[in-house]
Chain A
Amino acid sequence: KNEVEQSPQNLTAQEGEFITINCSYSVGISALHWLQQHPGGGIVSLFMLSSGKKKHGRLIATINIQEKHSSLHITASHPRDSAVYICAAISGGGADGLTFGKGTHLIIQP
């Protein structure tokens, strides 16, 4: 069974700071989702990646399949980035193929 661990669980930072959220998993996977969940809103998929790095605006996601680790970075953070960030490993566990982390609650203060 795949275990997906995220750190930190909670993160409060000042506007403009560089943010890093980490995700590690115990079993080999084919790819990994980074998801964003705003208070009162649903979940949006930010990235799905299986190797290397992807960038979208101020968001960067990296993954190292051998080390079973992925990171989500936010550059020049803004209060609107405040949300819960969830990583989900695509590993074949369960019928849906997804194993979710518990999420990182990020608050960016102005």
Chain B
Amino acid sequence: EAGVAQSPRYKIIEKRQSVAFWCNPISGHATLYWYQQILGQGPKLLIQFQNNGVVDDSQLPKDRFSAERLKGVDSTLKIQPAKLEDSAVYLCASSSFLRVRSGNTIYFGEGSWLTVV
């Protein structure tokens, strides 16, 4: 079974530039998550999709971050304009259920490492 695919793996940009990350979840997984993980901290949920609908984007900085999952399969996360504090790993994950519960699990991608200079 193919895992969660993310690209690019690494990106270095200057502040005020824009960047986009792409994620392809495990086939058949209706739920897709984007997490931000700052060095030394646990992942923080940015946005959760169920198919092509947004379930939760309460922690997404909407003035600069946007995400879409138009066809309910792959997704893109965009940052424009980037700030120094956006330097982090952006993790995509997928699950076959709306919420992680005992008995099912969540699968993470390799992550996209962003450095803003």
> Which chain A residues have a beta carbon within 8 Å of chain B's beta carbons?
4, 30-31, 33, 35, 40-45, 48, 50, 86, 88, 90, 92, 94-98, 100-103
Contact = CB atoms under 8 A, between A and B. Distances in A.
Interface residues of B, number: 27
B91 interface: yes
A96 B48 contact: yes
Interface in B78-112: 91, 93, 99-103, 105-111
Contact of A95 (B4, B6, B56): B56
A86 B99 CA distance: 19
Given A41-B111, A45-B106, A90 B101 contact: yes
Contacts of A31: 101-103
A64 to B, nearest CB: 15
B99 A97 contact: yes
Nearest to B109: A42
Contacts of B40: 102-103
14 contacts: A31-B103, A33-B106, A41-B110, A43-B91, A43-B108, A45-B106, A45-B108, A48-B102, A90-B101, A92-B99, A95-B99, A97-B100, A97-B101, A100-B42
